[in-house]
Amino acid sequence: MAETRTAIHAGPRPHLRWIVLGGACLFGIILVVGTMTRIHDRRQLHATNVAALVPSVTVVHPGGHAVDTLVLPGILQAWYGAPVYARTNGYLRQWYVDIGQKVAAGQLLAEIDTPDVDLQLAGARAALGTRTAQRDLARITSRRWDRLNAQNAVSQQETDERRGNLAASEATRHEAAAEVERLETLSAFKRIIAPFAGVITSRATDIGALIVAGTAASQPLFTVSDVSRLRLYVRVPQAYAARMREGFVAHFTVPDYRNRQFEARLLHSSDAVDSQSGTMLVQLVYDNGENLLKPGAYAQISFAFHGPGPQAPPTARIPASSLLFRQDGTTVALVDGQDHVRIRPVAILIDFGTELEVTGITPSDRIITNPPDEIGDGDPVKPREGGHGA
């Protein structure tokens, strides 16, 4: 009986031990899972907080070579243009050409009545006749006294005086002759002639108008322009000055022929950059054989370039909103392969308004648009693609 009772009490103990052991393992598992869950949640919360502190930025890819065609304004001017002034005083008798008419070199444009000059010329000619008669008398007297002096009939002093009178008379006659020539020249100016072949582009006088020459208020009577060829002046930015070579062909348009392009050839350049505008003046020539274009007209000139030019640094086009202005100069903010900010200095070549042509970056860079003012080198960011800069 005692053995049977002992067996009955000893039977359930191993089963209870497994139950306790299983409960302990389950509690340990629950404890470990809970601890790991709390650690994971804490790390996730930290990562979320850290991610919330990293700003999101929009990046663009700059374009390659910024300008294939450079378009600039210019002014057409006549190959030759001469304002024709009067050189003598009087009244306009008659004009023979009007604006728009073609004239030949030496053609008579107008005639001026010059009564004052005519009277002065008549008086000068009379004075010349008097001086000529006095010179002739002095010459005869001098020769006579030379013969008398050779016969010792007169003194040498008296002979020298007669020779001096001849020289003075000769000089006085030359003076009178010069005055006649001056007045004849002025009288010849009563005929206004064309200095070269061309077109009359202005007429600022009429019949009976008072002509006053040689004053600051004098106005040109006519303007003659040679429009067989036209000069085209344009100011080119310094960044393109090295590409301007004689013979370079450009195309231009004018408002009165909107759907037509004209071709001009670069003739000369000033070979100097204006320090105030940063541009160089170049001169192109257009053959106006069809007589379509007019001097003084406005034109839009297109310079087509292939490549960035000799020894020129690579350029790219970026949005103007990408610039950062700081104490160390003009910079942009890039995003590297690890999504960190890199501040890069740039040099602006051309301002196109909303876009800029700059050096210092490449088309493979990622540029931050509208970067925050407080952004710094090495800051982490979350880039968001925004397209291309050009």
pLDDT averaged over every residue in the chain: 83
Distance CA 313, CA 170 (A): 77
* Residue of 90, 37, 78, 57 lying closest to 231 (CA atoms): 78
Sheet holding 108-113, edge to edge: 191-193, 108-113, 90-95, 210-211
Domain ranges of the chain: 2-50, 56-65+312-388, 115-189
> Does residue 177 sit in helix, strand or coil?
helix
Q: Would the pLDDT of 66 be above 50?
A: no
Q: Would the pLDDT of 191 be above 90?
A: yes
State percent of the chain over pLDDT 70.
88
CATH 1.10.10 fits 115-189, yes or no: no
Q: How many Cα atoms sit within 13 Å of 143 on the Cβ side?
A: 5
* Residue of 223, 219, 221 lying closest to 205 (CA atoms): 221
Both tokens of residue 65?
């070579």
Strands of 182-314 (E only): list them: 191-193, 198-203, 210-211, 222-237, 249-254, 257-273, 279-287, 298-304
Distance CA 386, CA 58 (A): 6
- pTM of this structure: 0.55
What is the DSSP secondary structure assignment for residue 55, as one 8-state letter? P
CA dihedral 101, 107, 109, 114 (to 10 degrees): 180
- Determine the pLDDT at residue 338: 85
The backbone torsions φ and ψ at residue 104, rounded to the nearest 5 degrees and listed phi first, read -100, 160
Range with top average pLDDT, 23-27, 223-227, 368-372, 377-381: 223-227
Distance CA 154, CA 142 (A): 12
**Cβ-based neighbour number of residue 367 at 10 Å:** 28
Q: In what helix (H) or strand (E) does residue 197 lie, and over which residues does it extend?
A: none
Strands of 85-178 (E only): list them: 90-95, 102-103, 108-113
Rg, Å, the chain Cα set: 49
Range with top average pLDDT, 86-100, 305-319, 369-383: 86-100
pLDDT (tens digit per residue) in 126-159: 999 999 999 999 899 988 888 888 888 888 888 8
What is the CATH topology of the domain spanning 56-65+312-388?
2.40.420
- Determine the pLDDT at residue 173: 92
Whether the CB-CB separation of 329 and 359 falls below 8 Å is answered with no
Q: Which of 30-39, 90-99, 231-240 has the lowest mean pLDDT?
A: 30-39
Chain position carrying tokens 């070269």: 196
> Does residue 149 sit in helix, strand or coil?
helix
- Determine the pLDDT at residue 252: 93
